[in-house]
Structure 1
Amino acid sequence: MSHSRFESIGAYLPSNIVTTQELLSRLKEPPSFDLEKITGVKQRRVHDTNPDSYEDSFAIAIKAAEDCLSRSRYEAAELDVIISSSITRSNHATRMYMEPSFAGSISRLIGAKNAITFDVSNACAGMLTGTYILDRMIRSGAVRNGMVVSGEAITPIADTAAEEISAKYDPQFASLSVGDSGAAVVLDQAVDDNDKIHYVELVTAAEYANLCLGMPSDKSQGIALYTDNRKMHNEDRFVFGSNSLKNHLEKLGRTFADEEFDYIVHHQFGAAAIPWMNAIAERELGSPMPPDLRVIEKYGNTSTTSHFIVLHDQLSDQNIPAGSKLLMIPAASGIVAGYLSTTISSLKV
């Protein structure tokens, strides 16, 4: 079975910037903790809400897909698969748009007329889930290539939180850390070890599924996210993720040190949590963690796109040398954990 690789990457970030201090100024009751320090989010991008230039999640996804194709060797008509993995599904002013599929609509608009199309939904692990599926399709020989794309206009949950929070601690506080963005990657067959997805696996522990729930607000007409941060960010949950990687490496007869990762990319959900996750992983895996790449201070938690926004941003700034080996770690409601190991050399922004 052949391996896959990341052939090209694209992203779109709205031009509107909202700082954490601006959001907090809208609260009736300020939090009892330093939200900016705990989350690490100083600002985030917010989609355009002007009627003449409104950016819904579909429009954001299209811009990311077009950016990705602009540096791909493939034309849209040459893509075998389009997988959309957005959480937010706003299209033509609708808040939740289900049919036809986002992937099908995206394929028609960008000209991917020959592509198999389908949507997946797996909370903030969405793009890594799409990558997992497409990797397996390429490795099996079912397809030659494909695109995983996501557009997120998720900041309406921050608007709901800013309007409704009235206590020192509230389950909507995590909503104040999100930002809007789009990302897309094209995968095809790897030709050597310098550009290769070595392995990607995901695992779900449903016992934690009730700790982070998106739904209509119970107080208003808004959409809301309710998160039990105290239980979400605890050692048991983080050990679950580290042990899944440890078990995988043991089956391969390898250790974490053998992998020689140059960088690690976590889901961008909290600057204070990531060092703790790394410390737990070092203890469980018996080896120091590589430097972690992050952009949470600039863009916030961009949900499904976060790993690829980090990758796009760091490649743009030329902070990832050719031949670097990266470990991507999801952390999604569900609870979804896992790992993706890749070496990248020709991927450029």
Structure 2
Amino acid sequence: MVRAAILGTGCAVPAKVLSNIDLERMVDTTDEWITTRTGITERRIASPGEYTSTFATKAAERALEMAGVSADEIELIIVATVTPDFPFPATACLVQNNIKASRAVAFDISAACSGFLFGLSLAEKMIMTGTIRKAVVIGAEVLSRVVDWSDRNTCCLFGDGSGAVVVGASEDGNGILSTHIHSDGSYWELLHQPGAGNRNPATQKVVDERLMFIQMQGNEVFKLAVRAMEEAANEALEANGVGLADLDLFIPHQANRRIIDAIGKRLGIHPDKIFVNLHKYGNTSAASIPIALDEANRAGHIHPGNLLLLDSFGGGLTWASALIRW
């Protein structure tokens, strides 16, 4: 049976580090307040001249290098992002040009923090149907440019960066066992960026009312995130007839340590099997899971034959999971 397997991983984050101590000098907050409520101690922030495509390109190049795959072999590039370089063209087209993947069709998808798993699901299906043989799926964000740095409740949460995977056809039985993606638009107002789309176009009013920044109802999002991620995780396990004892590593979306701990407790996953790098990067939205996956991979936490569960939740609302035999 042909499956889609992850052949290589890569990530790229800005060099600039913004710590909680730095934030204390910018907004009415403290290191203790942020760490206690989120588990975040620092995040990476893009410098002038660095864009979503900058990090997406570097992450893709590193994934290709690990996979031993040339850009000429890539037939599909998907960039999951809510912070593209431009409304159009797609950031994926910029990445295609940067890595010289001239044979690849390239496009972006917008599913907020679940975007990477949505993209992975799409690439998996195209590989399994024989439409393509190899793809690059990227999650990339520069959220620092849509964060209100005067709002202590949101500015401490987000960071910038990108993660990528090379996905290719495999016939050894290993690979992506299943993906599960969901949306519920009735909750869209809980987490959104009001401007500057065509509902609130780029005008002085949008600037004056600070509509270009992320708005979030944190308590409501928290409750829905825990419930939805638990549901998605169980869906993936049940679809493949495996239990928690079979799981080697759980990589959840890195949004908030309290969310991660709550999901782990509700699922009954031992903390040693949960990969967390939230403290270093904050919430990088669509980049969160692929950055964590690459770090876990390069640190030797993932071995051939391991069973991995990826799980996410984001604005939309969207949620998703994937079960992978490495």
Matched residues in 2 for 1:198 and 1:290: separation?
23
CA deviation vs aligned residue, 1:98-123 (integer Å, no higher than 9, x gap): 22222222212211111122211111
Aligned residue identity for 2:243? F
- Per the alignment, residue 46 of structure 1 pairs with 45
Distance in 2, matches of 1:300 and 1:237, equals 16
> Runs of 5+ in structure 1 lacking a partner?
91-96, 166-171, 345-349
Q: CA 1:289–1:140 in structure 2 vs 1: closer, same or farther (change >3 Å)?
A: farther
Which consecutive unaligned segments of at least 5 residues does structure 2 have? 196-205
| Structure number having the greater helix percentage | 2
> Offset of 1:289 from its aligned partner?
7.7
Change (3 A) 1:269 1:15: same
The corresponding residue for 1:266 is 252
Matched, 1:58 2:53: yes
The CA deviation string for residues 14-46 of structure 1, in whole angstroms up to 9 with x for no partner, is 11111022113211x437982222111111111
Residue type of the alignment partner of 2:222: H
Q: Distance in 2 between matches of 1:153 and 1:306?
A: 12
Other-structure match for 1:94: none
Q: Report the equivalent of 1:16.
A: 16
Tell me if the contact between 1:264 and 1:289 (Cα under 8 Å) persists in the aligned partners: no
Q: Percent identity among equivalent residues?
A: 22
Q: How much has 1:80 moved relative to structure 2?
A: 1.0
CA–CA separation in structure 2 for the residues paired with 1:302 and 1:119: 17
RMSD: 2.4
Give the residue type in structure 2 aligned to 1:62. Answer: T
Question: Structure 2 counterpart of 1:322, which letter?
Answer: P
- Indicate the residue corresponding to 1:175 in structure 2: 155
User: What corresponds to 2:202 in structure 1?
Assistant: none
SS in structure 2 opposite 1:330?
strand
Query: Would you say 1:241 and 2:229 are equivalent positions?
Result: yes
Partner of 2:298: 316
Size of the aligned set, in residue pairs, is: 316
1:100 to 89, 97, 102: 89
Change (3 A) 1:8 1:204: same
- The amino acid across from 1:17 in the alignment is V
Q: How far apart in 2 are the matches of 1:124 and 1:336?
A: 8
Q: Which amino acid aligns with 2:163?
A: A
Query: Are residue 328 (structure 1) and residue 310 (structure 2) matched?
Result: yes
SS in 1 for 2:310: strand
Whether 1:137 aligns to 2:117 is no
Preserved CA contact (<8 Å) 2:237 2:323: no
1:199 matched to 2:188: no
Could you tell me the TM-score, scaled by structure 2's length? 0.88
The structure-2 alpha-carbon separation of the partners of 1:25 and 1:279, relative to structure 1 and needing over 3 Å to count, comes to same
> 2:282: which partner in 1?
300
Please tell me whether the aligned partners of residues 68 and 186 of structure 1 are also in contact (alpha carbons under 8 angstroms): yes
CA contact 1:328–1:341 (8 Å) conserved in 2: yes
What is the correspondence of 1:209-248 to structure 2 with a 5 Å cutoff?
209-216=188-195, 219=208, 223-234=212-223, 237-247=225-235
Q: Distance in 1 between matches of 2:43 and 2:118?
A: 24
Q: Structure 2 CA distance, aligned partners of 1:23 and 1:318?
A: 33
The 1:231/1:322 distance shift into structure 2, 3 A limit, reads: same
Q: CA deviation at 1:244?
A: 4.2
> What's the CA shift string for 1:57-91, capped at 9, x where partnerless?
1122111122222222221111111111121112x
Distance 1:296 1:246, change over 3 A: closer
Q: For 1:157 and 1:101, how far apart are their aligned partners in 2?
A: 18
SS of 2:95 mapped into structure 1: helix
